[in-house]
Amino acid sequence: MKFENIKAVFFDAADTLFYIKNGLGNTYAFPAKKYGINPSSDDLKKAFSTHFSSAPPLAFGNVTDGERKILEKKWWYDVVKNVYDDIGMFPDFDSYFEDLFEIFRTSAWKIFPDTIDTLSFLKNKNYKLIVVSNFDSRVYDVCRSLKIYDFFDDFVISSESGYAKPDTEIFQLALDRNGLQPFECVHIGDNYVNDYISPITLGLNAVFLDKDQKYINQQSVNRINDIIEIIQFL
């Protein structure tokens, strides 16, 4: 695998640049104790997987910034409420949700060990770095708290763009906003459909971040175990 004429590297955000440091189930369970309940982290993780995957796209077009923030929060409220409707609702859920929403603004996340080195190398080589992610506007706070915000030339996120991966329009918007052609870009992410199949469909180069090595024996898939491995192909 060798990419030529690359001018920009697109990155997914969660589970590519950073991850939930204590795991999703534990992070959801911790603030619940303040309200007198002790839900199972495994039950939370299972219910979340169900309701997150079945939720509508986290994408809101043609709204003001203020309206978008309300819609983002409502989207997450519905997901988390469905989770607790499954495992057991409790009276102080609204207060709990406010706490949880803020935890995921900053303190829930931890940067991968190779993220800074990768971004620093690419920036020093004058590649344009762009986040393309199904995320809400808290991504800016997350990246600032993790000291990686300034590496990026642009953020194209689903809640602002009105498009969510695997819809290729989110990639097209990133191309258009930055004056790029598909062949000049490579996208890196951890979701096979969203971050590999989708950008390739539009003509971008793509690399699947396969930390679980699910595709290790598939020679036709451009895959890496850690994002720093992208350096050897650019």
Q: Is CATH 3.10.20.90 what the domain over 22-103 is classified as, yes or no?
A: no
Task: Indicate the helix (H) or strand (E) that contains 132.
Answer: strand 128-133
Q: What is the pLDDT of residue 214?
A: 85
Per residue of the chain (234 residues), give pLDDT as tens.
Answer: 668 899 999 999 999 999 999 999 999 999 999 999 999 999 999 999 999 999 999 999 889 999 999 999 999 999 999 999 999 999 999 999 999 999 999 999 999 999 999 999 999 999 999 999 999 999 999 999 999 999 999 999 999 999 999 999 999 999 999 999 999 999 999 999 999 999 999 999 999 999 988 878 888 899 999 999 999 888
Can you give the pLDDT at residue 222? 93
- Given a contact cutoff of 8 angstroms between Cβ atoms, the answer to whether 60 and 159 are in contact is yes
Question: What pTM was estimated for this model as a whole?
Answer: 0.96
- Assign domain 8-19+109-233 to its CATH architecture: 3-Layer(aba) Sandwich (3.40)
Separation CA 22–CA 59 (nearest Å): 27
So where are the chain's domains? 8-19+109-233, 22-103
pLDDT for res 30: 97
- The per-residue pLDDT for 85 is 98
Q: What is the pLDDT of residue 216?
A: 81
At 1 the pLDDT is: 60
118 contact partners, CB below 8 Å, separation of at least 6:
227, 228, 230, 231
DSSP H helices, the chain, are: 24-32, 41-54, 65-87, 93-103, 115-124, 139-145, 158-161, 169-177, 192, 198-202
